[in-house]
Structure 1
Amino acid sequence: METLAESIPTLPLFFSMFLFIYLIAYFIVFRNWSPKIRPEAASCFISLFHGTPAVFLATSAIIADSQYGFASPNTKFQNLVLDYSIAYFLMDLCHYVIFFPNDVLFIGHHLATLFVFVTCRYLVSHGAFAILVLLVLAEVTSACQNAWTLASARKADSAVAAKVYELLSPPFYALYSVARGFAGPLFVYQMVVFYMSGVAENVIPRWVWVSWIVVVVMAISVSILWISNLWVEFYRERSEKLEKKKIR
């Protein structure tokens, strides 16, 4: 017999939660911030409530399944975590469509990510292990990234924010580089080798896993390009500061 907790549709519940958090952030937490950066700050705020919790939830869901593998059936716990992330990306997608409709890159990223989560959760009901590992690698930098983003938004008018931005940049860039530039590609390679063997095609059709790989490879490529540009900018700024000190 289904318990009350199991009968409650988790996706609408999680979406309502993220919507509530977003509204609290926009109208209360960041009410004194400039209208230009309030939406971005509210987006970072809900990301704080998704990223790190998602890492712990996904890790727990993987460990709790003794039969986990690239083609294993999704457990109820894994589906719960997928719903949690689907709700977050739906809420953040609404944010971008409303406030930044011309930001095609982020809107496309969210739509592609939702495609992967939704097909895993509701279409094939297999392969959550792979998707959740990728979720962990993507969100393990979330807390640091959101703090860095908020500091970056205020660094021009706040000495404290500028200092936080300066202190967070090197460790954030390093952690992001390891997660997205090394661990991510290595795990995707293992996915490709497994799925190309054909042993999973009776539960995960070829077009599904191929689309997953394409989306993930594109996301990792953009991430590597983004962090590379940040490293270039970081070294450029450091070089300029050193030059100024020499002149003095």
Structure 2
Amino acid sequence: MDSTSLISSMSSLPLFFAMYFTIYLTAHFIVFRSWSPKLRPEAASCLISLAHGTPAVILACLAILADSTTGFATINTHFQNTVLEYSIAYFLMDLCHYLTFYPTDILFIGHHLATLFVFVTCRYLVLHGAYAVLILLALAEITSFFQNVWTLASARREDSETARQVFDLLSPPFYVLYSAVRGFAGPLFVYKMVVFYSSGVADNVIPKWLWVSWICVVVMAISVSVLWISNLWIELYRERMFKLEKEKKST
């Protein structure tokens, strides 16, 4: 890729960031204006996540399928780079959100920084490996729609009967899908990445220190995700058992 095409392709990043920033402000001042100031930032974050998640999955799949020669060590296509920039812009916007409203939330801030490291180095440093990174992106975001609707319902379930019903209805299937992706599909693909990159065939385009860093970031993210969903399963089980005990006592 020459410098002219690189500069041209980079122009989409500020455009995507401006789009997410606009959606974020719209969420704050229009979509969720009736929500309490305490809940509004989280709701705005969910809205930009909704704007990113499902489109990112579709775009990532299209970008991979559009290149018949794509693989773990192939050079990124322009389409693949654009999808990476689409996600980089989202994580930058959401990182600004956390730094502004939740500066002590080290876990999410660290997650966003680590994710940006993977995307940015793939897009701008080595210009290879988008195939693997975009599949990981698709796996991570395939649950995004359900997770954001679940999060919004969870935020309002104490003062809205509709939100409580949505939360109760959505929780089990969302937990099942999330568990399957983060507990099985994700680790399986990471294993394939390790097998390929550890063979050394890609070291001339993706240095060992970099792909090892990518793997470490992904393994940590999956581990945290598995811990998070495990706690939610435990909480759901306790809530259901509590309801059963309460029903028994009332009969």
Same fold (TM over 0.5): yes
Question: Smaller-chain TM-score range?
Answer: over 0.9
SS in 1 for 2:165: helix
Partner of 1:83: 85
Which one of the candidate residues 47, 50, 60 is aligned to 1:48? 50
Q: Percent of pairs identical after alignment?
A: 73
Partner of 1:66: 68
Q: For the residues of structure 1 that align with 2:176 and 2:28, how far apart are their CA atoms?
A: 31
Cα contact 2:9–2:78 (8 A) shared by 1:
no
Which one of the candidate residues 147, 170, 173 is aligned to 1:171? 173
> Equivalent residues in 2 for 1:1-248 (5 A)?
9-248=11-250
Letter in 2 for 1:127: G
SS in 1 for 2:71: coil
Q: In the comparison of the two structures, how many residue pairs are matched?
A: 245
Q: For the residues of structure 2 that align with 1:162 and 1:231, how far apart are their CA atoms?
A: 17
Cα contact 2:150–2:171 (8 A) shared by 1:
yes
SS in 1 for 2:74: coil
Letter in 1 for 2:222: I
Q: For the residues of structure 1 that align with 2:191 and 2:100, how far apart are their CA atoms?
A: 36
Letter in 2 for 1:199: V
1:7, CA displacement in angstroms?
6.3
Unaligned stretches of 5+ in structure 2?
A: none
Letter in 2 for 1:178: A
Unaligned stretches of 5+ in structure 1?
A: none
1:245, CA displacement in angstroms?
1.3
SS in 2 for 1:49: helix
Letter in 2 for 1:198: G
Structure 1 runs of 4+ with >3 Å offset: none
1:241, CA displacement in angstroms?
0.7
Q: Report the TM-score, using the length of structure 1 for normalisation.
A: 0.97
1:8, CA displacement in angstroms?
7.2
Q: Report the TM-score, using the length of structure 2 for normalisation.
A: 0.96
Cα-to-partner distance string for 1:189-231 (whole Å, 9 max, x where unaligned) = 0000100000000000001100000000000000000000000
